[in-house]
């Protein structure tokens, strides 16, 4: 999924997969941390 987002976000410029993965994964990771802390 991150590869598709990276290709579609800026068609003229390539985004590194790590940037897309971090952008999508960070909110999910924070949500999981907050959910498990309860």
Query: How high is the pLDDT of residue 31?
Result: 96
Distance CA 29, CA 9 (A): 22
For 16, which DSSP code? P
pTM of this structure = 0.52
pLDDT at 28 over 90: yes
Number of domains in the chain: 1
The residue segments making up the domain with residue 13 are 2-37
Query: How high is the pLDDT of residue 10?
Result: 66
Name the band, by pLDDT with cuts 50, 70 and 90, for residue 21.
confident
Query: How high is the pLDDT of residue 12?
Result: 62
pLDDT at 6 over 70: no
8 touches 20 (CB < 8 A): no
Query: How high is the pLDDT of residue 11?
Result: 65
């Amino acid at each position: 999924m991150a590869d598709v987002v990276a290709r579609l976000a800026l068609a003229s410029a390539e985004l590194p997969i790590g940037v897309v993965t971090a952008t999508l994964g960070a909110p999910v990771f924070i949500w999981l941390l907050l959910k498990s802390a309860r």
